[in-house]
Structure 1
Amino acid sequence: MVSKTVLHNGIRVISEHIPSAYSVSIGFWVASGSRHETSEANGIAHFIEHLLFKGTPRRTALDIAREMDSMGGILNAFTSREYVCYYAKVLDKFLPQAVDLLSDIFLNSLFDPEEIEKERKVVLQEISMLEDNPDDYVHDLFSRNFWKGHSLGMPIIGNEESVGGLSREAIISYRDRTYLGGNIIIAAAGNIAHQDLLKLVEGVFSNHPSGSSSSPEEERNICKRIETYEKDLEQAHLCLGTTALPQDHPLRYEAYILNTVLGGSMSSRLFQEIRERHGLAYSVYSYMISHSDSGSLVIYAGSSPDQVGQVIEIALKELKRLKTEALTATELESAKEQIKGNILLSLESSDNRMSKLAKNEIYFGDYQPLPEIIKGFDRVTSTSLLDLCGELLDDRYFTMVLMGKVSSGSISARDLTL
């Protein structure tokens, strides 16, 4: 059973009782991420995520780590373009201690100047590590080019210049502007009663300020782009993408099926054609990223530089097939069952259920019951999917990024045609 309470300052407390579980996963979510930053302060949300583990008046950084370890639990955090999450997973008997620990770092972190400088070095190393991993870095480069001039194109972890220039005052100011009651969601799933969760958090957050922040109003400059980044690598890394749907779009079920058929698994068209049939890549897949107001559908492949042209040709051929040929009943049904199976299997984990509660609240403002989600996929037809492909797979919007031993101008915009 899912329960929701809104505190007087706008903080939303949502829980799902799973009586058969031994664990509880709890997350403190802030509906504000890298897209809410300025270019000068890019990476500040991610930097704050790091700093909240560096000590409070009651606990040092070592105390925080030791306390969670003594419970046999997990304590971590992550930042995205539209939210930040601090979460813990513990045995149900340790939930009060976990809430006390999370609340302490969330509300009372010191932002000690010495710790800020040490952690700045850590984040700068993280940026360097990303740039040293081309199969990860190419996705970051794709986002920068696809969302060129838009806040969604800024890297979540920032860049060397922006992170290097963040002052303690700027960090605390950003935290105070975004960690407001209307932006905060406390989500928990596992062997927990909603009223017990409320007792744990109401007093702690009773004086927390209300208010909220909103995403900037921006338009993307939609046009065809090709960018090459010459680098001495054994492989050429490719990202080819186009527009996709926002999280709450009525045709989102069709979009998930589109991605599944295209490159979402080992039985997908891209995997079977590019890897299994032609042996052109070890890693090839597609993925879809949906935001509150927009999205992208992206194909990735890593291939030898002299074969990347064939990879692009096959990818374009498969995109055209989706746009012009209806799926067979067998292929459509298989994709539906694959997605539904993945969803059901993910719900065996309390942390996945906790994340589902929070993301539903961020993007839909309410809980999305599993039977309604299943019905959404069941309603998809080959005709509705073909209509969506005709809308999204428009080569006027294609962006392609190539990294490796590829020369600028080796592939032109004319080559990206369906």
Structure 2
Amino acid sequence: MVSRLPLKQQREIEAIGGNVTALGSREHMSYTYDALKTYVPQMVELLIDCVRNPAFLDWEVKEQLQKVSADINGSFRDPHQLLLEAIHSTGYSGPYANDLFALESAVNCLNSTVLEEFVAEHYTASRMVLAASGVDHDKLLEYAEPLLSDLPNVSRPTEPKPIYTGGDFRRQGDSGITHFALAFELHGGWLKEKDAIILTVLQMLMGGGGSFSAGGPGKGMYSRLYLRVLNEHPQIQSFSAFNSIYNHTGLFGIQATTVRCCIRKHHGACIAIWESDFAIDAIDIAVKELIALATPGQVDKVELNRAKESTKSAILMNLESRMVVSEDIGKQILTYGERTPLGHFLKVVDEITKQDIAKTAQKLLSSPLTMASYGDGNYLNFPEALFSGSCYIVHMIYKLLVYISHFPFIYQCFICQATIQSAGGSIQSEVILVRMAL
């Protein structure tokens, strides 16, 4: 939606044969254009026109809002996406708690005027970076300067600091499958560069995935969660580590799916057995795996080296894409004010030790716990669960405290706010404070 008529814009893009995308995250909006180098002047002009002169036509806004509503409805049918959003909305207070997918009521409030005000407030010179890959820097300046030189120099506002509180989110379903996620905060985010890189290696070290590997035999099978969890428990359908790293904060945790019906061998035959809900046991397993990371001596050199090599491989593979490179340049300029050489990141990865892994895991476990679950759970069947949505989280925290009582480096308060969501709305319980005195 730019100053050009939509049809004219489409014709220009078709003539070039490029790939144009617009993406939004919790901290950035990005507009990217991928095409042949000979079309750089047209690409730069079109991108800048999109940012500076958007034409929010009423009919086009309505059409896009219908598509957004459909996308939102589809996203919340994905349990993994639902849990990741719930971890943020429950674990944080403030801007980081805002959902990536707006509520239907919020979407209905959008119109051309609201969008114009948003662009005027946020699309300013101090918040904007034009980054490119595969083009000479002086040439890029030559094309962009006449189009951007008249932007007013507005000072960049102070970024709001993240407020992490921890908490508990639950939504019940009747599918025979339970999805849950446990997460902890690592304060600092990308502004504490080494900690953020260690967190990335930590995810590679833990690994995990589904009980069936669609990527071919051996794909990721040597990660800790495959060897220690997925290979041992047929009730677990998926079990994997995840992280979300931002400028000032980061999340790390384990996301899992358990089933009540599993296949077991009995006298040489495979039979389906309907078991009691395994989710509670899977939570215990997840906690034990996280605590093992924080215990010195529990990670050996071979698996750490494998995780470091996997991290470097993933970085280099991602940077094979020109679009990823240009996006990386833009984000680094906005975060650090400069682009850090690739060799620096690879060197930091190489220098990570087993002590760094244990120390970072200890920092994670000293932060409040955030838990989200969705699906079939027996712990929601008790009447008292509807009266006070805190009974299960207390049980789970109690088990966690029993585990971590053996580790003197953990002495954090757990503040949990429990919420049960159902078709009839939500019931919010009292805030629980459990304090450890070690």
Normalised-by-shorter TM-score class: 0.7 to 0.9
Aligned mate of 2:285, from 291, 314, 329: 314
Aligned mate of 1:96, from 41, 45, 50: 41
User: 1:274, 1:280 within 8 Å by CA — same for their partners in 2?
Assistant: no
CA distance in 2 between partners of 1:151 and 1:415 (Å)? 31
Aligned mate of 1:156, from 75, 100, 121: 100
1:272 and 2:216 correspond: no
Quick one: which amino acid aligns to residue 282 of structure 2? V
- Report the counterpart of residue 195 of structure 2 in structure 1: 251
CA distance in 1 between partners of 2:186 and 2:235 (Å)? 27
Q: Which moved more, 1:78-87 or 1:361-370?
A: 361-370
Alignment of 1:200-239 (within 5 A): 200-218=143-161, 220=163, 222-223=165-166, 225-239=167-181
CA distance in 1 between partners of 2:155 and 2:257 (Å)? 42
| Cα 1:383–1:205 shift into 2, 3 Å | same
Alignment of 1:5-404 (within 5 A): 54-56=1-3, 58-60=4-6, 62-147=7-92, 149-190=93-134, 192-218=135-161, 220=163, 222-223=165-166, 225-245=167-187, 246-249=189-192, 250-263=194-207, 265-304=220-259, 306-326=277-297, 327-394=299-366, 397-404=368-375
Deviation at 1:286, TM superposition (A): 1.4
CA distance in 2 between partners of 1:88 and 1:241 (Å)? 35
Deviation at 1:221, TM superposition (A): 5.0
- Aligned-pair identity (%): 24
For residues 253-307 of structure 1, the C-alpha deviation after alignment (integer angstroms, 9 at most, x for no partner) is 3222222212365432223333223233333221211211111112111222512
Deviation at 1:171, TM superposition (A): 2.0
User: 1:187, 1:355 within 8 Å by CA — same for their partners in 2?
Assistant: yes
CA distance in 2 between partners of 1:353 and 1:217 (Å)? 27
Quick one: which amino acid aligns to residue 33 of structure 2? A
Deviation at 1:318, TM superposition (A): 0.7
User: 2:86, 2:169 within 8 Å by CA — same for their partners in 1?
Assistant: no
User: 1:263, 1:299 within 8 Å by CA — same for their partners in 2?
Assistant: no
Quick one: which amino acid aligns to residue 156 of structure 1? L
Give TM-score, length-normalised by structure 2.
0.77
Quick one: which amino acid aligns to residue 229 of structure 1? R
Quick one: which amino acid aligns to residue 150 of structure 2? N
Return 5+ residue gaps in structure 2 as ranges: 209-219, 261-276, 386-390, 404-438
- Report the counterpart of residue 429 of structure 2 in structure 1: none
User: 1:262, 1:270 within 8 Å by CA — same for their partners in 2?
Assistant: yes
Quick one: which amino acid aligns to residue 129 of structure 2? I
CA distance in 1 between partners of 2:97 and 2:83 (Å)? 13
- Report the counterpart of residue 15 of structure 1 in structure 2: none
| Cα 1:311–1:64 shift into 2, 3 Å | farther
Quick one: which amino acid aligns to residue 318 of structure 1? E
For residues 60-80 of structure 1, the C-alpha deviation after alignment (integer angstroms, 9 at most, x for no partner) is 1x3333432332321001101
Q: Radius of gyration: which is bigger? A: 2
Structure with the greater relative contact order (CA < 8 A, sep ≥ 6): 1 or 2? 1
User: 1:237, 1:404 within 8 Å by CA — same for their partners in 2?
Assistant: yes
CA distance in 1 between partners of 2:309 and 2:98 (Å)? 36
Quick one: which amino acid aligns to residue 51 of structure 2? F
| Cα 1:66–1:287 shift into 2, 3 Å | farther
Quick one: which amino acid aligns to residue 88 of structure 2? S
- Report the counterpart of residue 47 of structure 1 in structure 2: none
> Equivalent residue of 2:131, what SS?
strand
Deviation at 1:218, TM superposition (A): 4.5
Deviation at 1:322, TM superposition (A): 0.5
CA distance in 1 between partners of 2:302 and 2:59 (Å)? 61
Deviation at 1:198, TM superposition (A): 0.8
Quick one: which amino acid aligns to residue 56 of structure 2? F
Deviation at 1:232, TM superposition (A): 2.7
| Cα 1:68–1:267 shift into 2, 3 Å | farther
Quick one: which amino acid aligns to residue 169 of structure 1? T
Give TM-score, length-normalised by structure 1.
0.80
Quick one: which amino acid aligns to residue 168 of structure 1? S
User: 2:190, 2:247 within 8 Å by CA — same for their partners in 1?
Assistant: yes
Quick one: which amino acid aligns to residue 82 of structure 2? Y
Quick one: which amino acid aligns to residue 416 of structure 1? L
Deviation at 1:103, TM superposition (A): 2.0
RMSD, matched Cα: 2.0
Return 5+ residue gaps in structure 1 as ranges: 1-53
User: 1:281, 1:301 within 8 Å by CA — same for their partners in 2?
Assistant: yes
